[in-house]
A = this chain, B = another copy of it.
Amino acid sequence: MKKEIVIIGGGPAGIITATTAKKNNKEKDVTIIRKEEKGLVPCGIPYVFGTLESVEDNTMGIKPVQNLGVNFVFDEVTNVDFDNNSLKLKSGEDIQYEKLIFATGSMPVIPPVEGKDLQGVFTIDKNMEYIKEVKEYSKNCEEIIVVGGGFIGVEITDEIRKVAKKVTLIEAQPHLLPTAFDKDFGDLYEEKLSANGVEIKTNTLLKKVIGENNKVSSVELSDGSILKADMVVFSVGYKPNTELAKNTCLHLGYTGAIWVDEYMRTNKKDVFAVGDCAEHKDFFTRKPSKLMLASTAVFDARIAGSNLYKLKVVRENHGNLGVFSTSIEGLTLAAAGMTETTACNESFECIVGEASVIDRHPGTLPDKSPLVVKMVFSKESGLLLGAQMAGSKSVGELINVIGLGLQKGVTATDLITMQIGTHPLLTAAPTKYPLVLAAESALMKLR
């Protein structure tokens, strides 16, 4: 069968590549090939365990995508012939393409520990039927171990603890959320989760899963302790899904993801890769980066989708920036760019500015929360390198001010003379706007 634009994979990266490609090339047909008819909202997965009633409530609908003129084929690509612009489906059919986009996503990492195959051991695979199984299984469990205190681990823990009797969270690093936050912020979540009955073990590894009758019964930790358990959930990261890319000899990068240029083009003519399966570069160092975020995937997709036939959307690509946010128990944490720890590890000479304010004014207003901001600047140039914050839900957008600031190369001086909007019911006072105060506190140290 002859097609024009073909995308392998229908997660956020695949869908946005398809819709962007269609908007930019109205005369071309656009097809997504994916296995499942029903896809999950990936970032919404933790909430199916507590907040949402059913896993189906977390469906990413394809109807609006079809309405934009994108076709779906529910099948699997088994081989690609790059020389002849053709691919083969599991069903046996051959498809000719003009442009092909790999959006094959990522798969959860399972550490090679003893007992990992026992009944009751799960990962957070982005697959609806699998997640239904995990949810169903969790209902009959009393003692659950979550391994990995990154974003997914923390969110799953907080959701599961609302329905399970006892949840223990194990993290190998000295604090929770170790890649995006410094210890002072990670510890805020340790406090919140502990206060809600979760047991947290940092600096701890899971050594093995112990079974009885082929089912999880307990786990052994690196401190020698043995914890009773009837379920283990691994959330220790994801790896790019590059099986098809590997089999077809597409060039992979240093991290094992598909190598791409600034416009998401692979080493093969007419072939692109986007999202978790594509290799990213760090914004500050240009090192290959393992950043895997739906937001990053979507931006890859917009670049690829606009630039399939001609380079239309030319961007100043500084590499990929991590902008993160999460919220548990009314406390939102967000971060963008480098933490103080990361900056030190990368040998940046930096200086930190901090501010602690109330996010309404006057502070007597109902609905107020404390808001803490920490910013990291380059000592010599005053350039912003990153920020972390803790506060109420509006922090989820406040971090995007920082994100744009990083992309536009703002300095501490830019920030203290930045013109902002404030309102009693919505933000901190203009006299105490935290981005300005934190920049000022750093600037005072720089003098």
Contact = CB atoms under 8 A, between A and B. Distances in A.
A43 B404 contact: no
Contacts of A420: 295, 323, 400, 403
A436 interface: yes
B421 A396 contact: yes
Given A366-B51, A393-B394, A361 B44 contact: yes
A262 B365 CA distance: 36
Contacts of A414: 315, 407
Contact of A424 (B41, B416, B426): B41
Interface residues of A, number: 81
14 contacts: A12-B429, A12-B430, A12-B431, A15-B431, A41-B362, A41-B429, A44-B362, A294-B429, A313-B416, A313-B417, A321-B419, A396-B423, A397-B398, A404-B405
A31 interface: no
A364 B294 CA distance: 19
Contacts of A400: 397-398, 401, 420-421
User: Which 7 pairs from chain A and chain B are nearest by CB?
Assistant: A396-B426, A323-B421, A295-B430, A397-B397, A408-B408, A315-B417, A57-B364
A419 B295 contact: yes
A413 B320 contact: no
Given A57-B362, A60-B362, A444-B23, A314 B423 contact: no
Contacts of A306: 416
Contact of A52 (B302, B365, B399): B365
Interface stretch (A104-112, A123-131, A325-333, A345-353): A325-333
A296 interface: yes
A423 to B, nearest CB: 4
Interface in A15-71: 15-16, 20, 23, 41, 43-44, 46-47, 51-52, 57-60
Given A43-B423, A298-B431, A325-B423, 14 more contacts: A12-B430, A12-B431, A15-B431, A44-B362, A52-B362, A58-B364, A294-B431, A295-B420, A314-B413, A320-B419, A396-B423, A397-B400, A400-B401, A403-B420
A313 B413 contact: yes
The oligomer's copy count stands at 2
B430 A418 contact: no
A326 B423 contact: yes
A277 interface: no
Contacts of A326: 423
Contacts of A52: 362, 364-365
A343 interface: no
Nearest to A320: B419
Contact of A324 (B327, B401, B421, B440): B421
A41 B397 CA distance: 25
A103 to B, nearest CB: 12
B423 A327 contact: yes
